[in-house]
Structure 1
């Protein structure tokens, strides 16, 4: 029973090492930022590329072993299960180390704070953040200008209400009420934008 279980575990470990682990760790080393491959299907892309790259890494490592010629001690080539497994484990460890250094595994900080690494932001990411912040600032200025204009409209309508006839007074009341409604909407949008901007900054 135990021998059968160990055999199954060895097969699963071999399949994982041959067809998934090295490539997946290589993908994380190349693209450490979450969502870098795709915002919605990033994990699926990583798994798929990991399988493909694992096969490629295994083939290239086998070519390298085969290029070493014949082992004089055994009279056979160096493409043997032990050599293949050792090489793939070593490459996986190397890819994992590179990925950790580039910030692909921020969850390791839960084990120890010294393991915390964050991925560097790309220039395009900096540009997109700066561009978005610029658009938000322009929108805030537009809303602030509209708010002041509506406040003047409300004050002017209230002043005219006291000077006009009843018919004209109802006209300015409607104008004031409409301006107040627009002002409430603008103030709500201003508050929302300011809260979102504060959340991004802090």
Structure 2
């Protein structure tokens, strides 16, 4: 009884595996190899497009592989090469090949969870390049704004120090407080400037 149950489960898994290998896996990894960036097929229904194209391409890959096997003619044993073992081996090999190409092109960012050295990023598309240019433009504007603010604070510090020398002790305390506030703000601005410059340098290089 137990053997029959286990045999039934194994047979079911074998059928499911054969269906997935024939109608889904090769085409899906091929789609990822051709279009590694998420949202490249469609911004809203990208996953649905990948699944649909994966099914269609899997059927095409299976048919083409069967044609290739059939072109080899008859084996020395007098049988054709279009048998389940050869078909499965070819589809598995092609799936591994397509997966490797997709990984190389950055289609599987989750591979970094397996090992950091497996991390690959897809090449930026036209829309990504535009967004990078916009982001760089915003960073440059922010850098310019911070640089202007830094110069204003430096002038404020010099002005406060000059006034400290010209006024009495009571007034000197007021300008000393203003100088200290400007120095603290200047320190914060310079730290933000360094951070933005480092981020921009990392993106460029």
* Mapping for residues 130-149 of structure 1, pairs under 5 Å: 130=133
What is the CA deviation profile of residues 144-192 of structure 1, one whole-angstrom value per residue up to 9, with x for unaligned ones?
xxxxxxxxxxxxxxxxxxxxxxxxxxxxxxxxxxxxxxxxxxxxxxxxx
Q: Corresponding residue for 2:82?
A: 79
* Structure 2 counterpart of 1:113, from 116, 126, 137: 116
* Mapping for residues 37-186 of structure 1, pairs under 5 Å: 37-73=41-77, 75-127=78-130, 129-130=132-133
Gapped runs of 5+ residues in structure 1?
141-197
Within 2, Cα distance between the matches of 1:39 and 1:13?
31
Deviation of 1:29 after TM superposition, in Å, equals 0.2
Task: State yes or no: 1:22 paired with 2:22.
Answer: no
Cα distance change on mapping 1:132 and 1:112 into 2, 3 Å: closer
Within 2, Cα distance between the matches of 1:124 and 1:39?
12
* Structure 2 counterpart of 1:5, from 1, 9, 18: 9
Deviation of 1:76 after TM superposition, in Å, equals 1.4
Report runs of 4+ in structure 1 exceeding 2 Å deviation: 122-125, 127-134
Within 1, Cα distance between the matches of 2:128 and 2:115?
28
Deviation of 1:128 after TM superposition, in Å, equals 5.3
TM-score, normalised relative to structure 1? 0.64
What is the CA deviation profile of residues 1-45 of structure 1, one whole-angstrom value per residue up to 9, with x for unaligned ones?
000000000000000000000000000000000100000000000
Deviation of 1:132 after TM superposition, in Å, equals 7.9
Within 1, Cα distance between the matches of 2:20 and 2:39?
24
Deviation of 1:118 after TM superposition, in Å, equals 0.5
Gapped runs of 5+ residues in structure 2?
143-195
